[in-house]
Amino acid sequence: MSKKTTQFKTLLNSDQTEFLMEAHDGISARIVEEAGFKGIWGSGLCISAAMGVRDNNEASWTQVLDVLEFMSDASGIPILLDADTGYGNFNNVRRLVRKLEQRGVAAMCIEDKLFPKTNSFIKGEQQPLADVDEFCGKIKAAKDTQHDADFCVVARVEALITGQGLAEALRRATAYRRAGADAILIHSKKSSPDEILAFMKEWRGNSPVVIVPTTYYTTPTSVFSEAGVSVIIWANHLMRASITAMQQAATLINRERSLEPVEHEIATVKEIFRLQNAGELDEAETRYLPGGNTAQGS
Ligand code: SPV
Ligand code: MG
C-alpha cells in the first residue's frame, strides 16, 4: 500500500475525475472510506459545526489538528485538509505543514482570504481577498517546508465568490500555480456552473483543478469531467445528513417519551462497535492478555 500522500497526488493527477467526501471526525472519516471514496475533504465548515462553533476560525488550529489526527487514524485513505487561510502568515503555514505531515494528513488547501476567515456563502462579495504576492509567499513557504515530496498544496481562488470576475480569478490562479501550488481550487456560489466552465476553458489544463459544487449541484458530474476537472468535493453532505437524522430522532424521542419509534430506524449499538473496530481489540486480547480473552482490564 502506497503512502497517503502518494495516493492523493496520484488522485489529483489521474486522467479521470475523482471525488472527495467531507468528514469531520473519526467516525465520519471511516464511513467515507467504507462508502468507497478514495479521499476525504476535512471540511473547515463541518469540523467547526461538529464542535458547535462558527466557520470563522473560532476553533483554534491545534483543535482542528487534533480532530484531523483522529480522522487520519480512523481511515486508510488520504485527507485533504481545508486549512482556511493557513491560520496566519507564511510562518504559521510552515508550522502547519510540519504538523500535518507528522499526523499523516496527505494534503492541505489554503484560500486567498484574510484571517479570521468567514465561510464563502456568508456575505461573499464583502470579503477582502489576500494580496497575491503575500499569498504566493504562503504557497512557497509550504512547498519549501514539506519533507515528503508528495505532500500536496491546493491553492483556493475566491475571486469568483467576491464577484471580481474571471480575469481576476485567472490572474490569481496563474500566480498561485507559478508559486508552486499542486492544484487550483476554483470556488463559486452560483447555482449555474457557467463561471466554473468558463474558467476551465481559459485554464486549459495548466494544472489540476478542484471544484466544490455545493450550489451548482444539479449539473451532472459528467459535464465537469468533460471540462477537465480533476477533483470534485462533496463538501458538507455528511454533516447535513447527520443534522437531519439527529433532529428527527431527538424530536421524536422527546415527543413520544419512548425509543420505540426510532429503534429500527437508527444504527444499532453493534454497528457503533464495528465502526470502532472493537473486533480487533477482542482478537488482540487473546494474544496479549494472560489467560486470553477475558474481557477484563489489568
Ligand atoms: C468547507 O467545507 O469548509 C469549505 C467549502 O471551505 S465552503 O463551505 O463552500 O466554503
Ligand atoms: Mg472551509
pLDDT, tens digit (0-9, with 9 covering 90-100), for 245-258: 999 999 999 999 99
Report the SS3 class of residue 22. strand
For residue 45, which atom of ligand 1 is closest to its CA?
3
Cross-strand bridge partners of residue 42: 23, 81
Q: Which atom of ligand 1 is nearest to the CA of 120?
A: 10
Q: How far is CA 262 from the centre of its chain?
A: 31
How far is CA 245 from its chain centroid? 22
Residue 278, helix vs strand vs coil: helix
Distance 280 CA to ligand 2 centre (A): 34
What is the spatial distance between Cα 93 and Cα 95, in angstroms, rounded to a whole number?
A: 5
Q: How far apart are CA 76 and CA 223, in angstroms?
A: 30
> CB-side exposure of 205: number of CA atoms within 13 Å?
9
Please tell me the number of the ligand nearest to residue 42's CA. Answer: 1
Q: Which atom of ligand 1 is nearest to the CA of 55?
A: 3
CA dist list (Å): 283 to 40, 48, 76, 287: 29, 36, 20, 7
| Model confidence pLDDT, tens digit, residues 57-95 | 999 999 999 999 999 999 999 999 999 999 999 999 999
pLDDT digits (tens, 9 = 90+) for 124-136: 889 999 999 999 9
Indicate the top mutation candidate among 56, 118, 120, 186 to test ligand 1's pocket, ranked by most ligand atoms within 8 A of CB. Answer: 120
CA–CA distance, 46 with 236 (Å, rounded to integer)? 6
What fold, for 3-236?
TIM Barrel (3.20.20)
Q: Ligand 1: which residue has its CA nearest to atom 9?
A: 120
Does the C-beta of 85 come closer than 6 Å to ligand 1?
Answer: no
Q: What are phi and psi of 19, to 5 degrees?
A: -125, 135
Q: Could you list the pLDDT tens digit for every one of the 298 residues in the chain?
A: 679 999 999 999 999 999 999 999 999 999 999 999 999 999 999 999 999 999 999 999 999 999 999 999 999 999 999 999 999 999 999 999 999 999 999 999 999 999 999 999 999 889 999 999 999 999 999 999 999 999 999 999 999 999 999 999 999 999 999 999 999 999 999 999 999 999 999 999 899 999 999 999 999 999 999 999 999 999 999 999 999 999 999 999 999 999 999 999 999 999 999 999 999 999 999 999 998 766 555 4
Q: For residue 210, which phi and psi values (nearest 5 degrees)?
A: -115, 140
Question: Ligand 2 mean position to 111 CA, how many Å?
Answer: 9
Q: For the chain, which residues make up each domain, given as ranges?
A: 3-236, 243-290
Asked if residues 127 and 118 have their Cβ atoms less than 8 Å apart, the reply is yes
Give pLDDT, residue 298.
Answer: 46
Indicate the top mutation candidate among 20, 22, 41, 45 to test ligand 1's pocket, ranked by most ligand atoms within 8 A of CB. Answer: 45
